[in-house]
Amino acid sequence: MIPIYKPYLPKKSLEYAHDAVTSTWISSQGEYLERVTDKLKTLLKAPHVQLVNTGTAATHLVARGLLHKHPTVRKLFVPNNVYVAAWNPFCYDRKLELVPVDADINTWNFDIRELKNKIEDNCAVLAVHNIGNIINVPKLREELPPSTVFLEDSCEGFMGTYDNKYAGTQSLLASFSFFGNKIITSGEGGAVVTDDKEVFEFINILQGQGQSKDTKYLHVELGYNYRMTNVQAALLLGQLEELSVILKRKKNIFSYYRKELSAIESVTLQQVEKNTIHSNWMMGIRIKGNPSSEKICRFLKDKGIDSRPMFYPMSFHKHLKLYANPHNERVATLLSKECVILPSFPDLSVEECEYIVNSIKEYVLS
């Protein structure tokens, strides 16, 4: 079976992880946490980076940071066809109303025209870079009311760019994920990026049980145990040191996919917005007229190819029905039927890519 994803773990990642274990600094302190933090700050050109234990935890801290900085904001405009972890953390504290925006049939991100029609003053927008397709946040900021607060879920957008800047760096707060199927991984893990020092200090306290920075064991906020471990950071550091290798491999795979798949009649790919570069996280295709994503996933499984359906609209999830508008998710529903996500890991061989493309051709012609 060709897996949907498997992590790229260079020798250095394993060496650093072993060193972290033998040093006995295996929990939430140690040199690798500092080294990864500094590396990410330099790489992303971000003044403040907070490592955490999951991408979901990172997104929850984004939600808490929003409410801390802008306590009067009550509406958050979100895309209607993303992974559930982009929505859930904003529901934890029950202080925000999620307002779903239907998908764009071309980009698979939210429909910007609909967003412009719906937006109100003193609201926030969550830009989710869906399966790595980057929303041009700097451009969008110019087109929406000045009072709009921008947040980003860049869990799938790591190393994608808009206007020559890295995704996740031009909003109040952004979350990143280092889950096992991401471009770099610590198994679980994530990070929060912000350029606001006061907000950074707030989320830094929250991720460490709300403990005061001045007095040990004195807790000044209702916090969480969202700390990344030194072992996780060690795994990340090895990959960050070989990031150019990982990105080159991914770029070659996506270039092949795009060339071959775009030539198949009835198959379309995500349209990349002007002045943005896709993160090349996952390759998704849309097969026009496909009756269900389950059908093609079963077909590919029988061929020995793992795949994933596109994310379901908000109304499909029981706990999110109170926010959903099933009459305003036509495109999101269509994409959930017609789209499938293909194997995209860095070690995917040319032969495997050819086999996957030929299997898609066989499915379309059957």
Instruction: Give the residue from 208, 218, 238, 184 showing the smallest Cα distance to 50.
Output: 208
Q: Which residues of the chain have pLDDT under 70?
A: none
Place of tokens 């996952």: 282
User: Is 168:137 a contact under the CB 8 Å cutoff?
Assistant: no
Whole-number CA gyration radius for the chain: 20
Instruction: Give the residue from 77, 62, 80 showing the smallest Cα distance to 155.
Output: 62
Report pLDDT for 48.
98
Report pLDDT for 220.
85
Strand 173-177 and strand 165-166: pairing? unpaired
Report pLDDT for 156.
98
pTM over 0.85: yes
Report pLDDT for 210.
87
